[in-house]
Amino acid sequence: MMVRLPIFGKALLPLLMVATVACDATPPPVGMERGAELFETCAPCHGDAGVGKVDIAAPAIAGLPQWYVEDQLRGFQNEYRGDHADDLPGLRMRPMAVSLNREGDVESVAQYVASLEPVYPQSTLYGNAGAGASSYVVCVACHGEDGLGNKDLHAPPIVQLDDWYLLTQLRNFKSGARGARTDDVWGQTMRVNSLALTDEGMQDVIAYVQTLR
């Protein structure tokens, strides 16, 4: 026997179907599983193990603290990273960060990155570590004597970062390609310190940082 719906019932049927679909459209789970899935889009540049690829200026990120990875991804999303014409790697990274647009995406991929085995990339620069030790005194307040960083000051563990990446970022801070925006509070702090360094001085400080591993 066929049941005939009244006219108003027929009109409500599409709405009920939409509501059912909306209820089923639950967000993806937040955490390691979701982070591993998201990291598949990061791997072509940063590598499956997060060890980076120097030939495309993609730094090693494996084992970096979750809070730091979250900070940087949000910096790209908020356009105070990767918005300068002289920062080509940053320009390339920004769309990837913006694509993490579902609730929990940033936290999930950052958690996954933090779970990867930390790496300490080999040195590629040839600065004077002895001279760099004197200049590093200014860095201690934020990055610590051991270079392990300080979450409260949003200062990363620089001993885990590629030396070429550190040099690139110091140059970016000094030129204004990074840390020049008023909403980038911690970047502004770093920019002030970079202005006091010559290019040779930057390499000396970085050479000293390599001895802290």
Domain ranges of the chain: 29-119, 121-213
Is the pLDDT assigned to residue 26 strictly greater than 80? no
Percentage above 90 pLDDT, the chain: 84
Residue 58, strand partner residues: 53
Taking phi over 0 as left and psi of -120 to 50 as alpha, with beta for the rest, 50 belongs to: left
48-64 pLDDT tens trace: 999 999 999 999 999 99
pLDDT score for 29:
72
Q: How many CB atoms within 10 Å of residue 73?
A: 23
Phi, psi of 102 (to 5 degrees): -100, 150
| Same CATH fold assignment for domains 29-119 and 121-213 | yes
Q: How many CB atoms within 10 Å of residue 129?
A: 19
pLDDT score for 30:
81
pLDDT score for 11:
47
pTM, two decimals, is: 0.85
- pLDDT band for position 15 (50/70/90)? very low
At 177, is the secondary structure helix, strand, or coil? coil
Task: Report how far apart the first and last C-alpha atoms of the chain are (Å, whole number).
Answer: 79
CATH fold of 121-213 reads Cytochrome Bc1 Complex; Chain D, domain 2 (1.10.760)
| Residue 8 burial by Cβ neighbours in a 10 Å radius (0-12, 13-18, 19+) | exposed
CA–CA gap between residue 38 and residue 22 (Å, rounded): 23
Whether residue 139 contacts residue 42, with contact meaning beta carbons closer than 8 Å, is answered with: no
User: Quick one: DSSP state of residue 26?
Assistant: P
161-197 pLDDT tens trace: 999 999 999 999 999 999 999 989 999 999 999 999 9
Q: Does domain 29-119 have CATH number 1.10.760.10?
A: yes
- Give the helix/strand (H/E) hosting 206: helix 199-210
CA–CA gap between residue 195 and residue 193 (Å, rounded): 5
Token output for 12 = 């409500």
